[in-house]
Chain A
Amino acid sequence: MSAGAGVTRRGFLRTAALGAVGLGAGVYFWRLRSATGAAPPSVSAGTVPVYGDWRDVYRERWAWDKVVRSSHWVNCWYQAHCAWNVYVKDGMVWREEQAADYPQVRPDVPDFNPRGCQKGACFSERMYDPARVRHPLKRVGSRGSGKWKRISWDQALDEIADSMIETIVEEGTDRIIYDLGPGISLGAQTAGQARLRTLLDSTSLDMNTEIGDGHRGAAETFGKIVFERSADDYFFSDLILCWGANPAYTQIPNAHFLTEARYKGAEFVCISPDYSASAMHADHFIAVKPGTDAALGLGVAHVLVEEDLVDRDFVREQTDLPMLVREDTLRFLRGSDLSAAGDEDELHVHDAARGILPAPRRSLALGGLALDLEGRFEVVLHDGKRAWVRPVFSLLREHLAGYSPEKASAVCGTPARQIRDLARRLARAKSASMVTTSNFAKYYHGNLIERAQALVFALTGNFGKKGSGFVGFPFLMHDGLEDFVLSMFGTPTRMLIETAGLLDEARLKLAGFTDEMIVYERSRRGFESGQEVSGALFWYVHGGLLEASDALQAWDPYLERPVREVLEESLAKGWQHVWPKPGNDPRVMISLVSNPLRRIRSYPLLLKNLWPKLRTIVTIDWRMTSSALQSDYVLPAAAWYERTEHKWVTPLMPFIHAGEKATSFQEAKSDWEIFARLARAVDARAALKGIEDFTDRSGRARSFKGLYAQFSSDGEFGPDDEEKVARTLIENASNLEGVEWEDLKKRGWARFTSVGKSLASIGNATKIAPDDTITPFTDHVFDKEPYPTLSRRIQFYLDQALYVEMGETLPAHKDPPTAGGNYPLQLTGGHTRWSIHSAWRDDKLMLQQQRGEPVMWVNPDDAASRGIHDGARVRVFNDLDSFEIMTKLAPGTRPGQVIVYHAWDNFQFPGGKGFQNLIPSPLNPVELAGGQFHLRPMGICLQPSHTDRDTRVEMELT
């Protein structure tokens, strides 16, 4: 492309380089606003040599009109969040720069400054680029045609409201689906949606397991997935396992803690198939075949057990390894085995002196019990029959015989010597930690991998100590949202709800439930009643994604019956739940900063199966996406700097972040305002049509009348009250003690004072001190608080029927399925350094730093054998379909593996055929389990998940 002189390019902001000289008269002069900044060290006006006016062009370019504290209210997850100063000039955001004013937590750990990344550093460009939605759009061609009409906000909201009212009245409240994407803040933005969907009893999808962040293995083992350290806690590790993670890509603002911990003395070991940007900074790189990490982990466990490197005190107290399992049924020995009236959930241990006794449940403290880890004991059951029982540890030892380093090596490709070294290194470490990754949640057998990983950390007692621990899913948020939603009900109703809640809490506490268990229990009830709905199952059932799993028996050698049969069993037995009930078609879908057609594997099945059922599809977003293209209405949301907001983070960065609206943009509105106006529209349109009543999913009568009054708390929270909402949420929060909104919005951050009481954070099970790093699980390890599992311990043995059927009672390796057919290459992925989900995938600057289009990483040998060169365009195919992509040859990519990093949008591929169309996301039947105490579905975990890393493909030159 020619860019010769005189070519003028379109753009929002541009001053010609030379033209700006003419602004000399407008050159800004600085002065200190506060006395805290140091005086400039060298230059004063008198010493600046006068070369000419050209320098003023640059001085002028840096200057600004005002500075506003803000951030990017997007799901960066591990990287969330960073305080930014937004520099506004001429009414537009000119640029941004990290505020970088976090305090140092302890003098012997580095501070958090200057958190940020390249994506955040160019949002000021992104927010004005041509992907931005400027005004409400209504589709005028067929779906996906890209033919639009500009309409007014009133028209858009009235038409959407009409469709909602009609659906609610004619077919039911649960037919309205909210698809909440990774852009939700759980702050002011989400508060409007939460209120409206509660009032209208709509279906709101929990997308965590669908995204692939379900961490099922962690959930199976710990009864929860949310537990993580603060990033500065790595400073107390002497061994850091970067096992399946790539923090150089996915934790840009945190990564310095890892490189610096290494300087402090920690060994940094990277275990992954590819030699990644993180591996380059490792002390050791351990190569492993994709999807075989369980074999590697169990090989390590084998060495730990055989070489007697196990921390026996730790496993006796903190794990289920001393618990007794019946040899005949492969189930735990239960209270109900020993007495007809016995408790099904009561498990047992064997003490040398006292014999078999119930395992302590209300505390992990063993009170002097010397629990056996080995041995074989006979018990008399209540029906008089006899059975042999053994501690889980003794079963495990036997099980691990199949995972000698040599045998494990044959599976995972890692030399036996390296497996032994890794085990000994772990055993030697005073404090071994693991770098967070949601990688394995995206493998079909990822749960087995995570269970094996957790096992090696448990066997070596690496939990609770500073700088130690396997970690799950990082999450830390304020817990003020629920109160905000409840507060829209009048005092009598609220009192009823609150009283019932307190009574329930008391009852559960009496039954030995910890606070954490109570929170999870409530979430589980939500899943039973349809208040919460598994997004993953919704797409499988209503989206028709299950179609792609019909070939699963050909791909998964361990599977003995069709997964549809298991699904039927699971739904029939109430193990898992789907809303609307199968057969009741969804009718209205509202995607809130969500891009399901990009995100969901095998998305063409959604277009084929779900789209025809939907009468109205709405996308609320600040930018166009593949999903917006397939919507009936696209509503322009305010971009991040255009909102007054705060957002959750993770313990990695334990400061809540907040900011103020810096600018406005065309017709874009904050999500809060959109939902307030939508609520008002539903109220008004129903009144106009003379419709007053409707019935919710549980058959209770409700009314449209007064809907908006209720939504807005009688006008207290109107469309323009975004800031008041943000403030109220903060004031409601229990884990931001002493934090004042006015201070918070100016400063942009405040340190959490505790993990709080929400489902999103309570699992961290630790304290947050102002002057110390955070290590998860101190509540369990030091305060002996039970884990929220069936065994009340870190649980490696699972005896739910599906686990017994599938041979997954103990952590095991299973060969990955050949998802998509028997093809030689394994298509894997990973989060990219270049985007957060798809939010920056089509950004011009980010693309310029890549190749301008999607690429697939290929090992040079795999390319050479197919006559493929670097930069060649190839057709990638399997039994499902095909897509076209440019290759990138990288010797760090493992032979046999090809990598397409996360979130290229479908519209970036020829013919709109995105790479996810080859990914069948087969439904693993084990994930349909339920019924048992901690295997029942709850928020963000223990629902079936979507996976992609087992996909098999072949490629050829186009």
Chain B
Amino acid sequence: MQAPYLPNSGVDTLLDPGAPAWGSVPREQLKLEGTPLGLQPSSAIRSRWMERKIGNIDRVEVAAAHDGRDLAFRLEWDDATENGQASDSDQFPDAAAVLLPTVPGASIVTMGGPGGAVNAWYWRADADGGRHVVAEGIGSSRTLDGEWVRGRGIWKAGRWQVVIARALRIDTPEPVAQLEPGQKTGLAIAVWDGANGERAGIKAYSGPTWRDLVLDAMPAGRRS
């Protein structure tokens, strides 16, 4: 998919999922599937989910745009229930993440691997903002310090609209995606339906292969 360059839009504007600026950005439907039971990392999880549907959300509408400094994704999906702040332990929040490779060929289904990190930009309905996550294998994800990832979600009439954004490049030694306008990279999406008890590796995702993400180049003379 294509992430157009929207000069002067500013990430603060784009963080509003209803911002007029999003109107001009092409949207793409992605089909989602449940993560495979066999890849769930513990037998307790596998036994618990043996008879249950993993990945309740089957499609997500994705749009992306950048302004030369920040990259923002807008995700939209149908979800009959809003699961935000949990009032008890058996309740989980709705959530979504954008996954980017940090090296070519990093594995999605194993959430990366040693030396082949994946970088998730994560938003959750029970918390403001977002989380910046690096993983190098199942169960290894780490939330990085610093408020790099921003996120905002609105649930209305059975539908989530969520924006997740980050600066294209950030100053960190951690293995994260460092992006440039004009770059082509991979993209994967995950959505968790809290009402279905989805959390961790129990989620809907865009499949084991990376989708293309192309960041429009900036006109000459402009610097990110």
Instruction: Answer yes or no: A738 CB below 8 A from chain B CBs.
Output: no
Instruction: Answer yes or no: B85 CB below 8 A from chain A CBs.
Output: yes
Binary CB contact string for chain A from 1 to 21 against chain B (1 if under 8 A, 0 otherwise): 010111000000000000000
Report the separation of the CA atoms of residues A4 and B127 in the bound assembly, to the nearest whole angstrom: 13
Instruction: Answer yes or no: B87 CB below 8 A from chain A CBs.
Output: yes
Most buried by B among A2, A4, A6: A4
Residue of B nearest to A5 (CB): B85
Report the separation of the CA atoms of residues A5 and B86 in the bound assembly, to the nearest whole angstrom: 8
Q: Which residues of A contact B212 (CB under 8 A)?
A: none
Q: Which residues of A contact B87 (CB under 8 A)?
A: 2, 4
Q: Which residues of A contact B126 (CB under 8 A)?
A: 5
Report the separation of the CA atoms of residues A4 and B93 in the bound assembly, to the nearest whole angstrom: 13
Residue of A nearest to B126 (CB): A5
Using a CB-CB cutoff of 8 Å, which residues 461-515 of chain A contact chain B? none
Report the separation of the CA atoms of residues A6 and B126 in the bound assembly, to the nearest whole angstrom: 10
* Interface residues of chain B: helix, strand, loop or mixed (majority): loop
* Min C-beta distance of B144 to chain A, whole Å: 16
Q: Which residues of B contact A4 (CB under 8 A)?
A: 85-87
Residue of B nearest to A1 (CB): B87
Residue of B nearest to A6 (CB): B85
* Min C-beta distance of B5 to chain A, whole Å: 38
Using a CB-CB cutoff of 8 Å, which residues 1-58 of chain A contact chain B? 2, 4-6
Q: Which residues of B contact A6 (CB under 8 A)?
A: 85
Q: Which residues of B contact A5 (CB under 8 A)?
A: 85-86, 126
* Min C-beta distance of A326 to chain B, whole Å: 79
Report the separation of the CA atoms of residues A150 and B194 in the bound assembly, to the nearest whole angstrom: 51
Residue of A nearest to B91 (CB): A4
* Min C-beta distance of A19 to chain B, whole Å: 17
Q: Which residues of A contact B86 (CB under 8 A)?
A: 4-5
Binary CB contact string for chain A from 265 to 285 against chain B (1 if under 8 A, 0 otherwise): 000000000000000000000
* Min C-beta distance of A4 to chain B, whole Å: 5
Q: Which residues of B contact A2 (CB under 8 A)?
A: 87
* Min C-beta distance of B94 to chain A, whole Å: 15
Report the separation of the CA atoms of residues A6 and B86 in the bound assembly, to the nearest whole angstrom: 11
Using a CB-CB cutoff of 8 Å, which residues 60-109 of chain B contact chain A? 85-87
Report the separation of the CA atoms of residues A5 and B87 in the bound assembly, to the nearest whole angstrom: 8
* Min C-beta distance of B148 to chain A, whole Å: 20
Binary CB contact string for chain A from 774 to 817 against chain B (1 if under 8 A, 0 otherwise): 00000000000000000000000000000000000000000000
Binary CB contact string for chain A from 652 to 677 against chain B (1 if under 8 A, 0 otherwise): 00000000000000000000000000
Report the separation of the CA atoms of residues A2 and B86 in the bound assembly, to the nearest whole angstrom: 10
* Min C-beta distance of B86 to chain A, whole Å: 7
Report the separation of the CA atoms of residues A5 and B126 in the bound assembly, to the nearest whole angstrom: 9
* Min C-beta distance of A814 to chain B, whole Å: 57
Report the separation of the CA atoms of residues A635 and B181 in the bound assembly, to the nearest whole angstrom: 74
Report the separation of the CA atoms of residues A235 and B93 in the bound assembly, to the nearest whole angstrom: 60
Using a CB-CB cutoff of 8 Å, which residues 141-177 of chain B contact chain A? none
* Min C-beta distance of A482 to chain B, whole Å: 61
Report the separation of the CA atoms of residues A4 and B126 in the bound assembly, to the nearest whole angstrom: 11
* Min C-beta distance of A7 to chain B, whole Å: 10
Report the separation of the CA atoms of residues A5 and B85 in the bound assembly, to the nearest whole angstrom: 7
Report the separation of the CA atoms of residues A5 and B92 in the bound assembly, to the nearest whole angstrom: 12
Report the separation of the CA atoms of residues A2 and B85 in the bound assembly, to the nearest whole angstrom: 11
* Min C-beta distance of B194 to chain A, whole Å: 14
Residue of B nearest to A2 (CB): B87
Report the separation of the CA atoms of residues A5 and B91 in the bound assembly, to the nearest whole angstrom: 12
* Min C-beta distance of A740 to chain B, whole Å: 56
* Min C-beta distance of A849 to chain B, whole Å: 21
* Min C-beta distance of B90 to chain A, whole Å: 14
Report the separation of the CA atoms of residues A4 and B86 in the bound assembly, to the nearest whole angstrom: 7
Residue of B nearest to A7 (CB): B85
Q: Which residues of A contact B85 (CB under 8 A)?
A: 4-6
Report the separation of the CA atoms of residues A6 and B87 in the bound assembly, to the nearest whole angstrom: 11
* Min C-beta distance of B100 to chain A, whole Å: 27
Residue of A nearest to B127 (CB): A5
Q: Chain B residues in contact with chain A, CB under 8 A?
A: 85-87, 126
List 8 interface pairs A-B (beta carbons < 8 Å), by A numbering: A2-B87, A4-B85, A4-B86, A4-B87, A5-B85, A5-B86, A5-B126, A6-B85
Known interface pairs A4-B85, A4-B86; 6 further A-B residue pairs with C-beta atoms within 8 A, sorted by A's residue number: A2-B87, A4-B87, A5-B85, A5-B86, A5-B126, A6-B85
8 closest Cβ pairs, A-B complex: A4-B85, A4-B87, A2-B87, A5-B85, A4-B86, A5-B126, A6-B85, A5-B86
